[in-house]
Amino acid sequence: MIQIAILGFGTVGTGVAKVVAENARQIERKLGEPLQVKTILVRHFKDGPFRQLMTDDFKRIEEDGDIRVVVEAIGGVEAAYEYTKRALSAGKHVVTANKQLVAEKGCELLSLAKKKNVNYLFEASVGGGIPILHPLTQCMAANRIDEVYGILNGTTNYILTRMVRTGAFFSDALREAQAKGYAEADPTADVEGIDAGRKICILADLAFGHQVNPENVPMEGVSRLSLRDVKVAQRAGYRVKLLGRAVRMPGGGCTAYVAPHLIPEESPLASVEDVFNAVMLRGNATGEVMFYGRGAGEMPTASACVADVMEALQSSPRREEIGWSADDSGFEDPLELQTRYYFRIEGSLTDAAMAFGQVEVLSEDGETAFLTDLITGRDALRQSKSLNILSCMRVLA
Ligand code: HSE
């Protein structure tokens, strides 16, 4: 019998306990022994089938030699960071879906895990149930990864889909996403692009091999997005999606950011809807590879966590290929990237042409919506200074 503990019993923790119970036979067949949740750390005891396993004393887990894997499902940094360090120091594998902790402290926790000869695995921290970190670090290992981008937040993708398809109000769509267990405890992290920002940092850390600090990454969410832009874009053959993007720069550095983009409707990302996420990896040998699936929710996220539990137990002694250097000096401003830009201005086509030369007009009805040619973000800012800008977004090439 292999025993594990779960820290926290919210959406992810509950899902992990359910997957371990519901898929017990299948998991046992693969591990060769039954897997059992022995202890669950909670702040407040809850009635239900798992009540007997609950404790509010972390020491009972830390000092229990029978517990080999700890699933950290607390979220946030403070307590999660402390307990993760203590569990790893006690020689236990740790598995998590906590993107904030991995994005901020992952490098340090991975070196502690290495020192203690155990695994720190976090497949569920990016893309919910989509296998993406394993493919990135294993299946794509023979590539130089030049770019990673995609729809990385299920809550905002769900909100955008509901608003476009049914004309739902932003606040109603957000409430639905919360009720379905997609949103963070504080949904500001979803809505303002911070959750997607943490995920693109983790992807960039692994893809480029050095630390990309969330505090350096510009993050813009969907809270200021206007339905008018969504409609103008749609009429012109584009969809509006919140993308996280990380790019290897020509000089050897890299950049990353999160922002809403116009996506041509023929791009596979354009049809990614509801809670679904999609991540594109561009390797120098493979070209583009796309990963698609449910990016949030109890059971998809738990599936990735439990797979990591099994992986931790089966990797002997530990997985070595996951990690990156703490050096964060190669980060460049994403304004250096070239892309086409969408503008909606209070002004005429002549105003647009005076600022940018030739532009592609999307709509003209008092306001003017247009696309520029390829241009750096810095030039787009400089050249648009004289315009009365109502909105501005990058366009996915
Ligand atoms: N709040 C996150 C999302 C959960 O909506 O994508 C999964 O990381």
With the most atoms of ligand 1 within 8 angstroms of its CB, the residue from 98, 125, 151, 153 to mutate is: 153
Atom of ligand 1 nearest to the CA of 125: 8
- Beta partners for 376? 338
Token pair 């830390």 is found at 62
Structure tokens of 67? 């517990």
Torsions phi, psi of 45, nearest 5?
-70, 140
Q: Please tell me what DSSP assigns to residue 351.
A: H
Atom of ligand 1 nearest to the CA of 157: 5
CB contact at 8 A, 110 and 101: no
The finding on whether 127 has its CB within 6 A of some atom of ligand 1 is no
**DSSP codes joined into one string, 96-146:** E--HHHHHHHHHHHHHHHHHHT--EE-GGGSSTTS--HHIIIIITTTSPEE
Q: What angle do CA 217, 255, 204 make, to 5 degrees?
A: 85
Q: Provide the pLDDT for residue 167.
A: 87
Spell out the residues 6+ positions from residue 77 whose beta carbon is closer than 8 angstroms to its own: 100, 101, 104, 105
Q: Provide the pLDDT for residue 110.
A: 97
Strands 389-395 and 254-264: parallel
Can you tell me the distance from the alpha carbon of 151 to that of 396, in angstroms, rounded to the nearest whole number? 12
Can you tell me the distance from the alpha carbon of 105 to that of 96, in angstroms, rounded to the nearest whole number? 13
The finding on whether 128 has its CB within 6 A of some atom of ligand 1 is yes
Longest dimension (CA), the chain: 74
Can you tell me the distance from the alpha carbon of 54 to that of 44, in angstroms, rounded to the nearest whole number? 9
Can you tell me the distance from the alpha carbon of 277 to that of 236, in angstroms, rounded to the nearest whole number? 24
Reading phi first (left if > 0) and then psi (alpha if -120 to 50, else beta), residue 293 is in left
Report the separation in Å between the CA atom of 342 and the middle of ligand 1, taken as the mean of its atom positions.
27
The finding on whether 298 has its CB within 6 A of some atom of ligand 1 is no
With the most atoms of ligand 1 within 8 angstroms of its CB, the residue from 101, 176, 184 to mutate is: 184
Q: Provide the pLDDT for residue 321.
A: 78
Q: Provide the pLDDT for residue 320.
A: 79
Q: Provide the pLDDT for residue 316.
A: 73
With the most atoms of ligand 1 within 8 angstroms of its CB, the residue from 100, 156, 188, 195 to mutate is: 195
- Beta partners for 241? 261
The rounded Cα 258 to chain-centroid distance in angstroms is 10
Q: Provide the pLDDT for residue 112.
A: 97
Instruction: Please indicate whether residue 105 is annotated as part of the active site.
Output: no
Q: Provide the pLDDT for residue 317.
A: 74
Q: Provide the pLDDT for residue 319.
A: 82
Q: Please tell me what DSSP assigns to residue 236.
A: T
Given 18, 199, 231, 241, which residue is catalytic? Answer: 199
Per residue of the chain (397 residues), give pLDDT as tens: 999 999 999 999 999 999 999 999 999 999 999 999 999 999 999 899 999 999 999 999 999 999 999 999 999 999 999 999 999 999 999 999 999 999 999 999 999 999 999 999 999 999 999 999 999 999 999 999 999 999 999 999 999 999 989 989 999 999 999 999 999 989 999 999 999 999 999 999 999 999 999 999 999 999 999 999 999 999 999 999 999 999 999 988 999 999 999 999 999 999 999 999 999 999 999 999 999 999 999 999 999 999 999 999 998 778 877 899 999 999 999 999 999 999 999 999 999 999 999 999 999 988 999 999 999 999 999 999 999 999 999 999 8
Q: Exposed (0-12), middle (13-18) or buried (19+): which is 103, by Cβ within 10 Å?
A: buried
Reading phi first (left if > 0) and then psi (alpha if -120 to 50, else beta), residue 52 is in alpha
- Distance linking the first and last C-alpha atoms of the chain: 52
Q: Provide the pLDDT for residue 318.
A: 81
